[in-house]
Amino acid sequence: MTTNTTAATTEAPKPKQFALLPKIINGGIAGIIGVSCVFPLDLVKTRLQNQQVGPNGEKMYKSMLDCFKKTYRAEGYFGMYKGSAVNILLITPEKAIKLAANDLFRHHLTTKDGKLPVTRQMAAGGLAGLCQIIITTPMELLKIQMQDAGRVAAQAKLAGKTVPKTSATKIALELFREKGIFGLYKGIGATTLRDVSFSIVYFPLFATLNQFGPRKNDGSGEAAFFVSFASGCAAGSLAALAVNPFDVIKTRLQALKKAEGEMQFNGIFDCIGKTLKHEGPQAFFKGGLCRMIVIAPLFGIAQMVYFLGVAEALLGTKTK
């Protein structure tokens, strides 16, 4: 009897149950698919968050739909994908780090009796969010410049001025020449605030929702792929709304070029104070609905691809 117990224990030791490489690959694939699907909405979200109310209450975009229409009319279909190249390039390591790191921390924070309390789930999520900012900060910084360029150029045109065209590579090189590697990490404090808080909310909520619904037929006990998709959508949209104020602050701090007459911000607290004074608390929820619509399918697709085990199939390994 003792021998059987020992064999059962040694057959699947805890460290062997965690395969990092497939999780990294799955996270990367999930990120590319997700971003490709929702990028135009993300562009609209960025422009809504960056636009400031004029002295007479004037706005370039009245709503998400108005922003979408005006952007498409002025810049065409491919204009909706400005900044997508750098986003797709860096989303692979970003999502790979986020999803794999969360699983890694959950693995190590699980108690000896196999339980993972909510507080430890939140810690795992927060640590995963902290790990990803090394990629997220420069990715978001460059993406935002490209996404917001059309809005700034349109405002300049109204004022009789022109804004020279640029590229993510040119912006990155200029920042590097002027400030070194730290130039690419402008807004890292606000990015940390957003990503850590998002992950603290998202991952425990996803894990809870993913426990419900049908399981796979392979005896693994894992959720069916559509359950993971629905859980990712629900958890992503709720977490996105919860941290939207931090996303507004981050977006505004990382916008290197402002439209004519728009305020400049010197840090998180300065941004909060000026935004509250000139636009009121509702400004922190600008682009909130758009962000929820972006994040829901992004994380739904990401979790579905992640749990489908695409990397395991490519590597010829079997998920246990």
Instruction: For 307-320, write each residue's pLDDT tens digit.
Output: 777 777 777 765 54
| Greatest extent of the chain over all pairs of C-alpha atoms, in Å | 86
DSSP conformation class of 215: B
Provide the percentage of residues in the chain whose pLDDT is more than 70.
Answer: 91
Residue 36 has pLDDT above 70, yes or no: yes
Angle at 176 between CA 175 and CA 180, to 5 degrees: 115
Which pLDDT band holds residue 105 (cuts at 50, 70, 90)? Answer: very high
pTM for this prediction: 0.78
* Mean local confidence (pLDDT), 43-60: 82
Which pLDDT band holds residue 1 (cuts at 50, 70, 90)? Answer: very low
Averaging pLDDT over each range in 84-88, 197-201, 252-256, 294-298, which range is the top one?
A: 197-201
How do residues 226-283 score in pLDDT, each as one tens digit?
A: 888 899 899 999 999 999 999 999 999 998 887 777 888 999 999 999 999 989 999 9
Distance of CA 243 to the CA centre of its chain: 11
* Mean local confidence (pLDDT), 106-118: 91
Contact at 8 Å (CB) between 274 and 6?
Answer: no
* CA proximity to 306, closest of 133, 135, 96: 96
Element (H, E) at 232: helix 225-242
Query: What pLDDT score was predicted for residue 221?
Result: 75
Q: For each of the domains in the chain, give its residue range(s) and CATH number, in order of start.
A: 18-315 (1.50.40.10)
How do residues 132-154 score in pLDDT, each as one tens digit?
A: 999 999 999 999 998 888 888 87
As a whole number of angstroms, the distance between CA 26 and CA 20 comes to 10
Range scoring the smallest mean pLDDT among 54-58, 162-166, 172-176: 54-58
How do residues 6-31 score in pLDDT, each as one tens digit?
A: 444 444 344 445 577 777 787 778 77
> For helices 188-209 and 288-308, what crossing angle results, to 10°?
60
As a whole number of angstroms, the distance between CA 300 and CA 225 comes to 10
